[in-house]
Amino acid sequence: MFVRFWGTRGSIATPGEDTIRYGGNTSCIEVQSESGTLILIDCGTGVRRLGDRLMAEGRRPLRGHLLISHTHWDHIQGLPFFTPLFVPGNEWDIYAPQGFEASLEDTLAGQMQYTYFPITLGDLGATIRYHEIVEGSFRVGDIRVTAQYLNHPALTLGYRLEADGTAVVYACDHEPHSRALAGGDGDIDGNDRRHAEFLASADLVIHDAQYTAAEYEGKKGWGHSTAEYAAEVARSAGVHRLALTHHDPRRDDDAVDRIVAAIRQRVTDSGSAMEVFGAAEGQVVELHAAPDRHLQLLTGEVAAAPPQASALFERTVVVGVADPQLAATLREAIAADRIHAIVETDGEGVLARVLEAPASLVILQEDLPGMDGPAVCRAIRSRAAKEEDDLPIIVVANRERKAAAGDADGVSDWLVKPFSTAYLRTRARSWLLRTACRWEKAPLPPDEEKRLAALHKLAILDTPPEERFDRLTRLAAAIFDVPTALVSLVDRDRQWFKAGYGDLPRETPREESFCAHAVVNRAPLVVPDAMDDDRFADNPTVTGEPRVRFYAGQPLILPDGACVGTVCLVDTRPRELDERQKGLLADLGELVRRELLLPKA
Ligand SMILES: [Zn+2]
Ligand SMILES: [Zn+2]
């Protein structure tokens, strides 16, 4: 991958004679894969010159993707000046975190209302598609993108991009989950550990480093990292190169130099070979896969897709708080999201509520009278039903505590006073979004590696369509009167369609795949109504295009026992399959299986 920095400044553009070397433009990064997939991350003022460069190159039509971490000004202010968005024929996909209130399009249109700007979002000539996303993975061309929430007063996503055997991670704006880590010392645990795993063995991490440890005392809760924390979390994650960015506007070039020098010294003293530099406007970093290195791919448990709006409302949050002032703050933060809050003033009350009816989130005061927050948490974890293992529990603490102690109690997240209502609201939202957008991903079969070897040996993946398969899916669609019939092969992280009757992409992510369930069970799978099935109701192929309601898949098992995929039927209407039809589907499966085993013509 090729990475170029177009904006490295935090908060506000800071041009001037003392910011010439690192640059004064706000956040913007360009990433291109070897095959030319173009992704921009964030759209601060730096994007204007990038737009000019792209226009001068004359690629028409221009196809690009824009990942927005969050919609704070310094990350979107360049958007109205990004010329490629004005050119008819160009196509852009814009991705940003799904919020609870305004849509992404409305949020971006806000800064272009005529009070602020002469041209509206609607006047942009390019075809623009807006995607509101949550945590998880998706594909953009040949780049696999994984999004994960950061810790910031606005809902913010970090992005990990993997392609060509390399990985780059962008993590701005982000504050240590545990403030005790701001100095760069201490055990990385809990949600900070999760953050480190997100960076794991990346070739390049571009990390928020707005403050230094010495400055942090006065900046708690502002949503930014210290350079020391960025270095420590990256070092512990086995990162190869670390770019410190989101430079504070008060920082001149010499001040950035001093921070970089101090961090380099720190990293060297720790015995690490990680390379550290201050991200500078115009700087290019080329990433090449090391031949002997196996990149540790992230396996997200959820994939990013617009969750159903309804999944985010009508949720119940159980609050256990004795302090009336804290209760009022919590109510205010949660009520804004049209979520039911049930307030209990003691631990027994919370426990009874949670065990009696399902909750989406629990927020507890650490020093609840009687049974304290961690004790309630332990009790919930030991008594709740299996499906509540994932129930997020936030404990509000008066002071920083060791994250490790929290882990033993089963606390999902610690929120340490003082914090703003916005911070609390964002934390609660990110936990709700995480759980709202979860569907069941098929587990990996026990013989996965053998299965993949058998599939690859068929040498059929990524081959052109063939009439002998197309004929069978055409027949299947006609026999069962469904709009879509497919020969689907389940590869390591995708399902690829050898043949498909209907208007479809050539492949989709494995984590969204129905067929992967049939493959692991090695048995026919019939889903009469996906909306009514907990395994699939939140699946992005159900909640979004192509709006799957009915699915029936017949596994394709080779003579050596490897189950490589299915022949399957898909409909946008719920329906049933009777015994005779199940028999016919099995017959079709046999015909497809025979074709798979035939030597290629
Ligand atoms: Zn920022
Ligand atoms: Zn921000």
Distance 155 CA to ligand 2 centre (A): 9
- Calculate how far, in angstroms, residue 38's C-alpha sits from the geometric centre of ligand 1: 22
Question: One-letter amino acid identity for 497?
Answer: F
- The pLDDT value given to residue 439: 64
- The CA 451 to ligand 2 mean position distance, Å, reads 45
Q: How far is the CA of 483 from the centre of ligand 2 (A)?
A: 45
Ligand nearest to the CA of 26: 1
pLDDT at residue 402, as a whole number: 57
* Residue recorded with tokens 């720790």: 270
Distance of CA 246 from the midpoint of ligand 1 (Å): 7
Measuring CA to CA, which residue among 21, 39, 29 is closest to residue 206?
29
Q: What is the per-residue burial (b if ≥16 Cβ within 10 Å, else e) of 93-118?
A: bbbbbbbbeeebbebbeeebeeeeee
pLDDT tens digits along 66-113: 999 999 999 999 999 999 999 999 999 999 998 766 788 888 888 888
Q: Supply the pLDDT for residue 515.
A: 95
The three-class DSSP label of residue 601 is coil
Rounded to the nearest angstrom, the distance between the alpha carbon of 401 and the centre of ligand 2 is: 26
Is residue 295 pLDDT above 50, yes or no?
Answer: no
Mean pLDDT, rounded, for 251-267: 98
pLDDT band at 601 (very low <50, low <70, confident <90, very high): low
Residues with CB under 5 A from ligand 1 (ion): 74, 173
Q: Considering every ligand atom, which ligand is closest to the CA of 28?
A: 1
Please determine, for residue 256, whether its predicted confidence score (pLDDT) is greater than 80: yes
**Which of the ligands is closest to the CA of residue 75?**
1
Helix H or strand E segment including 586: helix 579-597
- Burial class, 581, CB count within 10 angstroms (exposed 0-12 / middle 13-18 / buried 19+): middle
**pLDDT score of 569:** 96
Q: Is the pLDDT of residue 369 over 50?
A: yes
> What are the pLDDT digits (tens) for 126-172?
999 988 888 877 778 889 888 999 999 999 999 999 998 899 999 99
- Across the range 334-343, mean pLDDT stands at 78
> Cα(418)–Cα(222) distance, rounded to whole angstroms?
11
Q: What is the pLDDT of residue 297?
A: 43
Residues 6+ apart with CB under 8 A from 405: 374
Q: What count of Cα atoms within 13 Å lies in the side-chain half-sphere of residue 101? A: 10
Strands of 299-453, DSSP E:
316-320, 340-344, 361-365, 393-397, 413-416
CA–centroid distance, 596 to ligand 2, in Å, is: 52
Ligand closest to Cα of 223 equals: 2
- The answer to whether residue 309 scores a pLDDT higher than 50 is no
Q: pTM of the entire structure?
A: 0.74
Q: Are 457 and 422 in contact (CB under 8 A)?
A: no
Give the pLDDT of residue 310.
Answer: 42
CA distance 490 to 497: 9
CA of 11 to the centre of ligand 1 (A): 5
pLDDT score at 504: 75
* Residue 244 scores a pLDDT above 90: yes
Q: Which residues does 499 contact at the CB level (< 8 Å), separation at least 6?
A: 465, 466, 469, 470, 472, 473, 486, 487
pLDDT in tens, 394-405: 999 988 765 544
526-545, pLDDT tens digit by residue?
A: 999 887 777 887 787 887 77
Distance 514 CA to ligand 1 centre (A): 39
Instruction: Read off the pLDDT of each residue in 291-319 and give the average, rounded to a whole number.
Output: 52
Distance from Cα 73 to the centre of ligand 2, integer Å: 8
